Structure 1
Amino acid sequence: MSLAKIIPPKPIKLYCCIICPWAARTWIALTQANVEFEYIEIDLKNKPDWFLKEVNPGGKVPTLKYGDEYLIESAITTEFVADLVPEAKLLPKDPFKLAQSRLLSDRFSEFLFPVYRKSIYGGDVSALNDIFDAIDKFVPYLVNAKPFFDGSEVPTLAELLVAPFVSRIYLVLESDIGSKDVLTKLSTDPKYAYFHTWATNLIASPGVAGTFDKAVNLAHLAERITSLKAN
């Protein structure tokens, strides 16, 4: 039996794109928090005139409309959701733990995001072999992930910010365009068990699982990587 949706103080509309990992951050947070909102898909290759004229002249997603006001930039819109719905427990209550969680997100950007950028966004799939060194540097900041940061039963805001990139890395590794050897090492080497367990738990969490269309995203990523290789 599903829980009743949380009704926000003002109506929420999320202008998003199913293949955009940045936009996915706020979509994941809204879904994880079980908030009622309206999802509006934006084709980034053919942005509607009404979106550019009436919503966001910059054409960026995510754009979040709260009542009659608009917010942009994925980190900001996602944190707004976490602040708006404290009962979702996306933010650690302890100020020190909150700071630590933000460091987690920062260190993911420093160590693991470059692997994503080069291998998937840049089309050099062989760069996924660099993930092990990146994980070694990142794991010290993944404090007590049982199953999530600091023993939280639900992913924290920092984890939701990195989730779209984790899910896409694993999606490529599981596919024919990725390296099965990398995935095998991640899933069988005891050295990486802590990270792998956390990553798979994150991908299986309601916010991620409820928003991540694997077939659509795999088709998009395969096309992108193939195109980049051809060039």
Structure 2
Amino acid sequence: MSKVQLIGAWFSPFLKRVEITLKMKGVEYEYIEVDLINKPPLILHHNPVHQKVPILIHDGKTIVESAVILEYIDEVWKGPNILPKDPYQRARARFWADFIDQKCVPATRKALWCRGEVQVNAIREAREALKILECEVKDKKFFGGDQIDYVDIIGSFLAYWMRIFDEVVGLHLFTQDELPSLCKWADELCDNKYIKEHLPDKERLADRVRGHAKTTRSV
């Protein structure tokens, strides 16, 4: 039997992407929790370039970056397909996953934590990006159709973390009035058996966000 280890931090949405996918595939693994403020040598050894989690170690081989790890898991282990088999649909899934990671996540983070003109521009950019996703998921249960797939797992940051951040900070980027389809998708996703098992406790996460918000505002 192959040995699988996963290094991460409990609050990380990127870690949870990997945990969700491993669960869907039925892969057993050893989880190693680390402190990201005082990074242990383990992180520096396995991910010297980015020095971030998650880190997947499979039979001594290291794989980093959550989106890359998801594709690796999908190719190595049997079980439900995370990425579509059809080449065109597979390309579309990669496009939307990249859109979320490269457009939505950075813009929403800046909107939540930055100030001044940077924040104003980020709020506008975040709203535009979320409206594009709103159109894409309209009339669908999930981005992949009736079953969650690669895009939904990548988008779990928006479905859970983003809404908690938004509530704590009070920017109201993710609202039912502006994004009804995306909110419906988020509710469906967070209620999925594979997803909800790996979501961090809401109050614990909110407390962490409040502490981060205080630190950011005091700078």
Shared fold, TM over 0.5: yes
Q: How many angstroms does 1:122 deviate by?
A: 3.6
* Alpha-carbon separation, structure 2, partners of 1:221 and 1:16: 18
- In the alignment, residue 108 of structure 1 is paired with which amino acid? I
Offset, 1:12 = 0.9
For structure 2, the 5+ residue unaligned runs are: none
Counterpart amino acid of residue 219 in structure 1: D
Match of 1:66 in 2: 58
Provide the secondary structure at the position in 2 that maps to 1:40. strand
TM-score of the superposed pair, with normalisation by structure 2? 0.81
Q: Does 1:212 align with 2:199?
A: yes
CA positional deviation for 1:131 = 4.6
Residue of structure 1 in register with 2:134 after alignment: 139
Conserved? CA contact 1:166–1:203, under 8 Å: yes
Secondary structure at 2:179's aligned position in 1? helix
The one-letter code matched in structure 2 to 1:47 is K
Aligned pairs for 1:213-228 within 5 A: 213=200, 214-228=202-216
- Residue segments in structure 1 that go unaligned for 5+ positions in a row: 1-8
Whether the 8 Å CA contact 1:25–1:78 is kept in 2: the answer is yes
RCO comparison, higher one (Cα < 8 Å, 6+): 1
Cα pair 1:16 1:41 within 8 Å, conserved: yes
Matched pairs, number: 214
SS in 2 for 1:88: coil
Q: CA deviation at 1:16?
A: 0.8
- % same residue: 23
Give, as a single letter, the amino acid of the residue that structure 1 aligns with 2:190: I
Alignment of 1:168-207 (within 5 A): 168-175=161-168, 177-179=169-171, 186-187=175-176, 189=177, 192-207=179-194
Task: Give the residue type in structure 1 aligned to 2:74.
Answer: A
Relative to the length of structure 1, the TM-score reads 0.78
- Quick check: 1:62–1:74 contact (8 Å CA) kept in 2? yes
Give the superposition deviation at 1:196: 1.2
For the Cα contact (< 8 Å) 1:10–1:67, is it kept in 2?
A: yes
Note the 1:61-140 alignment, pairs <5 A: 61-122=53-114, 131-140=126-135
Distance change >3 Å, CA 87–CA 194, structure 1 → 2: same
Q: Which residue number in structure 2 is paired with residue 152 of structure 1?
A: 146
Q: SS state of the match for residue 149, structure 1?
A: coil
Tell me how far 1:173 sits from its aligned partner.
3.2
Q: Secondary structure at the match of 2:199?
A: coil
Q: What is the RMSD of the two structures over their aligned residues, measured on CA atoms?
A: 2.8
Q: Out of 13, 18, 21, which is 1:21 matched to?
A: 13
Higher alpha-carbon deviation: 203-212 or 215-224: 203-212
Match of 2:159 in 1: 166
